Amino acid sequence: SPAVGDLKDLEWLDLGNNSFTGPLPPLPFTYFRSKLQYLWLYDNQLEGAVPVEYFDLPLMMEIRLYNNSAVCGPFEEQRFVC
């Protein structure tokens, strides 16, 4: 059976509404970045600039960052929901 850390096929990561605090995290598990399509970090207490690797996700459809203190926009790409 696959291990919890085996996320190479991860397409959707919803971490919204979890009371996370601090700066927006760099994306962990570099090997799943190529398949990640949805990253939801809304309704937390994240702050600071959006890490540069968020802009370099080839299949990304949507990143939700609203209701955080994060610096958000203006972005040219429509896939960022701030």
pLDDT at 55: 77
For residue 55, report the phi and psi dihedrals to the nearest 5 degrees: -85, -5
**Cα–Cα nearest to 80, from 58, 55, 59:** 55
The backbone torsions φ and ψ at residue 80, rounded to the nearest 5 degrees and listed phi first, read -90, 120
Instruction: Give the pLDDT confidence of 13-64 residue by residue, as tens digits.
Output: 899 999 999 988 777 655 566 788 998 999 999 988 888 778 778 888 888 9
Task: Measure CA 57 to chain center.
Answer: 10
Read off the pLDDT band of 71 (50, 70, 90). Answer: low
Looking at residue 82, its pLDDT comes to: 67
- Residue 1 pLDDT grade (very low, low, confident, very high; cuts 50, 70, 90): very low
